[in-house]
């Protein structure tokens, strides 16, 4: 992967990691009531990452 591709992937993953940390705090009762919203946002970020990686794979396949 190029530096730009790595940067793009990191930008997609970062929000998911932040949301996962918030979700973990919820389990300890510090932020009650936000679990479902956090899970939905994490899922959205990871699906976006999956789509990005599939797109990159398709681009590389066409070049070869």
In tens, the pLDDT along 41-61 reads 888 888 888 888 888 888 877
pLDDT of residue 12: 85
SS3 at position 31: coil
| Residue scoring higher pLDDT (23 or 8) | 8
**Model confidence pTM above 0.75:** no
pLDDT in tens, 12-45: 888 888 877 777 776 655 555 667 777 778 888 8
Those residues whose C-beta lies under 8 Å from the C-beta of residue 60, and which sit 6 or more positions away, are: none
| Residue scoring higher pLDDT (35 or 8) | 8
């918030």: which residue's tokens?
22
């Amino acid at each position: 992967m190029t530096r730009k591709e790595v940067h793009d992937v990191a930008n997609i993953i970062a929000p998911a990691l932040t949301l996962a940390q918030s979700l973990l705090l919820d389990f300890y009762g510090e932020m009650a009531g936000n679990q479902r919203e956090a899970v939905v946002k994490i899922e959205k970020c990871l699906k976006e990452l999956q789509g990005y990686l599939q797109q990159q794979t398709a681009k590389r396949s066409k070049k070869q």
